[in-house]
């Protein structure tokens, strides 16, 4: 950690905003969720603000109720490709599941996105916790948590072999002798494991970054170990400074345990900033959005998240006392615990809890002026809680514009954030070294 340590800021983008009521605002387009022009506009705004990357969440399933909020989601690597063509520097991080893909297909898509974007691809590795996804892929029950993580670890190992199969100097392009690539610089994967048999080589040559940036977002015990072993950036949902400090120290220590430099794994919590020119205006925006939550849908979803039956929750009462423990949950363990702890810590009724979750689905929400938003970001950044933030604007594009035009300049004046992009690719944005091919590394060492 040097004096010049800088924040890393991502724009977590979606349709009309992270607050579930945002699509009901007068200026919001209900079709924005499948409108590439909407997302291209967001990408340009984020790049104007010199943000590190764009981030897209994902699950291969229809999430929640189609009544509640825009539920259609373009496939992330396709959408990010469309955003790559209108930007030059900003990273492009797509969530993709290790449970419902095959390593060859996934490795190829990220290598392709990295080529098309000239080195800006990132992969947010998830194991996908929802039953609805399992039911789209020939299963009747959700695979259990530890099985999903075991498959994920082998999946990433296979993908790394495939990406490293082409050396930097594999394409010789020898027109005179008619040799396009050198056979001994393109390597089979020859992977035989418990979950996968993959021969390789990949049919995409080495991409500008060598492979995508590896990102991870699970915060369970398995998730933290996985992050510590593989991830270069970690997204997390934590509410309090103390929770974040504990998470931050834990993941960095685990990374050291895997023999890694802790600076090579960036911890980036989510923040949902409601920005106003005065504090009162920011709070009024937040209240306006909360009024736009349709409680019928929200209660149903909360019951599902808590493994309750329809009708188990009452709007103006607290959560029931006899909820399952995290160990009994096969789904999104850490999100489950976050919801229950938030409700109990702040003694919230179901209606109040829905308001808090509707803003950012469990992420930290904060309403204030640009100066106040910059202050809380700086405070957590400077107190061992974060290396940066995933900016989850409650309303899009407005909330991202407000952040870029009013908060970013403050962070820049304080010397906390870049004023120009440092290099050509996503690894440069994150201050990470290039990924060399194993053959060349071994050659250099011998």
Question: Which one of the spans 83-91, 252-260, 262-270, 277-285 is the region binding a copy of itself (CB under 8 A)?
Answer: 83-91
Residue 278 engages a copy of itself in binding (rule: CB under 8 A): no
Count of residues near a copy of itself by CB under 8 A: 82
Cβ atoms 142, 131 nearer than 8 A? yes
Q: Can you tell me the distance from the alpha carbon of 269 to that of 242, in angstroms, rounded to the nearest whole number?
A: 13
- Quick one: 135 or 344, whose CB is closer to a copy of itself? 135
Residue 1's contacts (CB-CB under 8 Å, 6 or more residues apart) are: 263
Residue 192's contacts (CB-CB under 8 Å, 6 or more residues apart) are: none
Interstrand relation of 388-391 and 8-12 (parallel, antiparallel or unpaired): parallel
Tokens of 39: 């997302």
Residue 78 engages a copy of itself in binding (rule: CB under 8 A): yes
- Quick one: 26 or 259, whose CB is closer to a copy of itself? 26
Residue 289 engages a copy of itself in binding (rule: CB under 8 A): no
- Quick one: 51 or 189, whose CB is closer to a copy of itself? 189
- Quick one: 50 or 300, whose CB is closer to a copy of itself? 300
Residue 182 engages a copy of itself in binding (rule: CB under 8 A): yes
Residue 51 CB burial class (10 angstroms; 0-12, 13-18, ≥19) = buried
Q: Which of 380, 389, 411 is nearest to 268 (CA)?
A: 389
User: Based on C-alpha coordinates, what's the Rg of the chain?
Assistant: 22
Q: What angle do CA 13, 410, 425 make, to 5 degrees?
A: 50
Q: Which of 319, 315, 283, 320 is nearest to 298 (CA)?
A: 315
Residue 137 engages a copy of itself in binding (rule: CB under 8 A): yes
CB of 25 to a copy of itself, least distance (A): 8
Question: Among 7, 92, 170, 267, which residue interacts with a copy of itself (rule: CB under 8 A)?
Answer: 170
Question: Among 48, 147, 171, 288, which residue interacts with a copy of itself (rule: CB under 8 A)?
Answer: 171
Residue 104 engages a copy of itself in binding (rule: CB under 8 A): yes
Cα dist from 179 to 126, 187, 203, 360, whole Å: 40, 17, 17, 54
Residue 424 engages a copy of itself in binding (rule: CB under 8 A): no
Question: Among 146, 169, 180, 441, which residue interacts with a copy of itself (rule: CB under 8 A)?
Answer: 180
- Sites for a copy of itself among residues 47-76 (CB under 8 A): 59-63, 65-75
CB of 93 to a copy of itself, least distance (A): 15
Question: Among 41, 245, 294, 378, which residue interacts with a copy of itself (rule: CB under 8 A)?
Answer: 294
CB of 334 to a copy of itself, least distance (A): 23
């Amino acid at each position: 950690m040097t004096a010049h340590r800088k924040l890393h800021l991502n724009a977590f983008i979606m349709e009309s905003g992270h607050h579930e009521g945002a699509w009901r605002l007068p200026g919001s387009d209900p079709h924005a969720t499948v409108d590439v022009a909407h997302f291209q506009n967001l990408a340009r705004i984020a790049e104007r603000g010199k943000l590190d990357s764009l981030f897209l969440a994902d699950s291969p399933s229809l999430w929640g109720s189609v009544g509640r909020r825009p539920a259609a989601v373009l496939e992330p690597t396709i959408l990010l490709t469309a955003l790559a063509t209108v930007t030059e520097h900003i990273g492009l991080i797509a969530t993709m599941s290790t449970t419902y893909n095959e390593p060859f297909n996934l490795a190829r898509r990220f290598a392709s996105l990295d080529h098309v974007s000239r080195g800006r691809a990132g992969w947010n590795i998830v194991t996908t916790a929802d039953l609805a996804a399992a039911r789209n892929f020939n299963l009747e029950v959700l695979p259990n948590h530890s099985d999903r993580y075991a498959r994920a670890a082998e999946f990433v190992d296979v993908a790394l072999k495939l990406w490293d199969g082409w050396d930097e100097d594999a394409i010789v392009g020898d027109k005179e002798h008619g040799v396009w690539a050198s056979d001994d610089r393109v390597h089979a994967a020859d992977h035989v494991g418990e979950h996968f048999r993959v021969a390789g080589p990949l049919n995409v040559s080495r991409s500008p970054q060598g492979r995508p940036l590896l990102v991870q977002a699970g915060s369970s015990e398995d998730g933290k170990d996985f992050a510590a072993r593989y991830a270069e950036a970690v997204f997390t949902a934590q509410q309090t400074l103390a929770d974040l400090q504990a998470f931050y120290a834990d993941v960095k220590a685990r990374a050291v345990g895997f023999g890694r430099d802790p600076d090579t794994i960036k911890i980036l919590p989510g923040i949902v900033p409601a920005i106003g020119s005065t504090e009162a205006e920011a709070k009024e925006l937040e209240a306006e959005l909360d009024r736009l939550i349709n409680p019928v849908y929200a209660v149903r979803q909360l019951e599902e998240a808590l493994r309750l039956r329809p009708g188990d929750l009452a709007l103006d009462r607290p959560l029931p006392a006899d909820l399952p423990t995290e160990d009994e949950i096969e789904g999104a363990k850490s999100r489950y615990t976050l919801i229950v702890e938030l409700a109990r810590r702040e003694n919230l009724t179901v209606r109040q809890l829905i308001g808090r979750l509707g803003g950012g689905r469990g992420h930290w929400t904060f309403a204030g002026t640009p100066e106040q938003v910059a202050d809380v970001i700086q405070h957590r950044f400077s107190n061992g809680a974060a290396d940066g933030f995933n900016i989850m604007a409650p309303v899009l594009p407005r909330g991202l514009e407000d952040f870029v035009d009013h908060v970013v300049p403050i962070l820049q004046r304080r010397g906390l954030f870049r004023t120009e992009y440092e290099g050509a690719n996503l690894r440069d944005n994150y201050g990470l070294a290039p990924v060399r091919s194993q053959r060349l590394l071994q050659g250099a060492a011998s």
